[in-house]
Amino acid sequence: MSEHRMRRVVIAGGGTAGWMAAAAIARTLGRTVDVTLVESDAIGTIGVGESTIPPLVNYNRLLGINEAEFMAATQATFKLGILFDNWKEQGDRYFHSFGITGKDHWSAGFQHFWLHARARGLAGPYGDYCLELVAALREKFAHLPDDRMNYSYQLDSGLYAQFLRKMAEGDGTRRIEGKIARVELNGESGDIAALALESGERIEGDLFIDCTGFRAVLIEGALHAGFEDWTHWLPCDSAIAIQTESVAPPVPYTRVIAHDSGWRWRIPLQHRVGNGIVYSSRYLDKDAAHQRLMGEIEGKTVTEPNFLRFVTGVRRKQWHRNCVAIGLSGGFTEPLESTSIHLIQRAVLRLIRMMPLREISERDIAEFNEQQETDAVQIRDFLVLHYKVTDRRDSPFWRHCQSMEIPDSLAQKIELFRETGRVFRKNDELFAENSWVQVMMGQGITPRAWHPIAEKLRDDELAKLMTTISDQVKHTVATLPAHGDYVAQYCGAARAAAA
């Protein structure tokens, strides 16, 4: 075995992806590796991935981050889910919560008991049985014992990167300011040998992490890893982001509002609101999209609009030779379900688990790429679901979505639920059974059957089960403070600054 150690880790690019990688690697591996991050203040970051999902809570805990300090530093609020407007049809809305709805039996999910109870006239709306959903719509929040409230954050991703940078540098990460002029390859192996900067400085490394965003300077520009285009399933290719002043207390959820050529978002932070529109340039031009967004925002704008173009898809090899792509350089799925930062997190933690001691193992590369692809495909299917399963036929965009072919894996999931009410989670996929149930029913699918175990209960037993669960939810929510008040007391940025 070679004595050469895989010691020098070089991260190309900063932003959320770069500093999440640097902070986690430096804190976890400590002095066993030398971490260097190269970024240029002259190159902007996308900075619109401000709505997150619950795994980020555990990511921060793994790194030993104090939650209140992190939230104050990033102007964060709590998030209990996503409110979807106009997706099933115009004027309709549903909520995708982070919580568990009702109480499952080992043989069947709660939806089976609810479907039977509803058919017997013994159940209210499905959402009445989910604590996080009811709390969100009543704009309430608090930490509960035993982590009974599932939540995530709405945050300023630029401030999050700054927070992680301070932490990473405290743990020994070296930051080098500069633009990459070229990527030098080893003539014998084909691996990356060094990054040559415009200043003339040369940064050698053993393992390189590409966090250069859509440009993918290392993984594609130098190593030509290839890209799989998913535009035929996810037709939106453009976005505009803008920030506004807050005009009301922040709510504990993100809003996603469908329009005739895509959707727009609204993400409330402590100090401002993130707004944006996602659309297909085939059906809506840039000026019309901008005009539409500006006509819908509330409050004075505090930034200039950020116009973005993207291609949905995934890098064919996210780890190729001695380079790992993390963040937008590895692929992009639109932020409809707030998965952008999550995919960074998954890649970083997966890389740490597979960090080589000496030579890079081709088996590690193959395993990493397979797991990354599985994550991306499962998230892709969940996003395509929102476009495909809808009653909207009011525009060419929605008629296209209704008629488009979808992956076989998604078709199986949809038809299985439609026929039987069942959902099966595979390979530790991100979205659990309750997420699929909420979105599929919210988008208009009503299962034609339920599990026979639901009929084991007599009507009085079924009614008692439903009433007990909904009463527990109502009672708990009634004891919770207003979300805005809790944020101000727990992690208010103004309060933290005064302290």
Q: Distances in Å between the alpha carbon of 308 and those of 217, 230, 277, 448?
A: 18, 17, 10, 42
Closest CA to 322 of 213, 209, 214: 209
User: Which class for 67: exposed (0-12), middle (13-18), buried (19 or more C-beta within 10 A)?
Assistant: middle
Q: Is residue 90 included in any domain, yes or no?
A: no
Contacts of 134 (CB under 8 A, 6+ apart): 127, 128, 473, 474, 477
Q: How far apart are CA 278 and CA 261, in angstroms?
A: 8
Are residues 105 and 215 both part of a single domain?
A: no
Q: What is the mean pLDDT of residues 383-405?
A: 97
pLDDT digits (tens, 9 = 90+) for 220-266: 999 999 999 999 999 999 999 999 999 999 999 999 999 999 999 99
* 42 has a pLDDT exceeding 90: no
Q: How many structural domains are present in the chain? A: 3
- The answer to whether residue 247 sits within a structural domain is yes
Asked if residue 147 belongs to a domain, the reply is: no
Residues 107 and 210 in one domain: no
In which domain, by residue range, is 287 found?
238-309
Tell me how far apart the alpha carbons of residues 245 and 272 are, in angstroms, rounded to a whole number: 5
Same domain, 187 and 72: yes
- What are 340-383's pLDDT values in tens digits? 999 999 999 999 999 998 899 999 999 999 999 999 999 999 99
Q: Tell me what pLDDT residue 1 has.
A: 43
Tell me how far apart the alpha carbons of residues 125 and 442 are, in angstroms, rounded to a whole number. Answer: 11
371 contacts 85 by C-beta, under 8 angstroms:
no
Residue linked to tokens 């805990």: 61
Taking the C-alpha atoms of residue 188 and residue 489, their distance in angstroms, rounded to an integer, is 59
* Residue 299 falls in which region: left (phi positive, over 0), alpha (psi -120 to 50) or beta: left
Where is the domain boundary, 357, 378, 399? 378
User: Is the domain of 132 the same as that of 273?
Assistant: no
- Residue at 125 is within a domain: yes
pLDDT over 60 at 496, yes or no: no
- Summarised one tens digit per residue, pLDDT across range 260-299 is 999 999 999 999 999 999 999 999 999 999 999 999 999 9
Which strands make up the sheet holding 34-39, listed edge to edge?
A: 174-177, 34-39, 8-12, 207-210, 323-325, 319-320
Using DSSP's 3-state secondary structure scheme, residue 301 falls into: strand
Q: Are residues 70 and 12 in the same domain?
A: yes
One-letter amino acid at 274 equals: G
**Co-location of 223 and 317 in the same domain:** yes
Residues 174 and 46 in one domain: yes
**CA-CA distance, 388 to 407, in Å (whole number)?**
11
Average pLDDT over every residue of 47-75 = 92
Residue 493 lies in a domain: no
Q: What is the pLDDT of residue 199?
A: 96
Q: Which residues pair with 51 in a beta bridge?
A: 154
Pair (114, 216) in one structural domain: no
> 297 and 205 in one domain?
no
333 in the same domain as 298 = no
**Domain co-membership, 366 together with 298:** no
Short-list 176, 194, 155, CA closest to 35:
176
Answer yes or no: do 173 and 63 share one domain: yes
**How many whole angstroms separate alpha carbon 74 and alpha carbon 56?**
14
**What average pLDDT score do residues 292-319 get?**
96
Alpha-carbon separation of residue 21 from 114, 183, 313, 314 (angstroms): 43, 20, 22, 19
Question: Does position 69 have pLDDT exceeding 60, yes or no?
Answer: yes
In angstroms, the CA 150 to CA 346 distance is 19
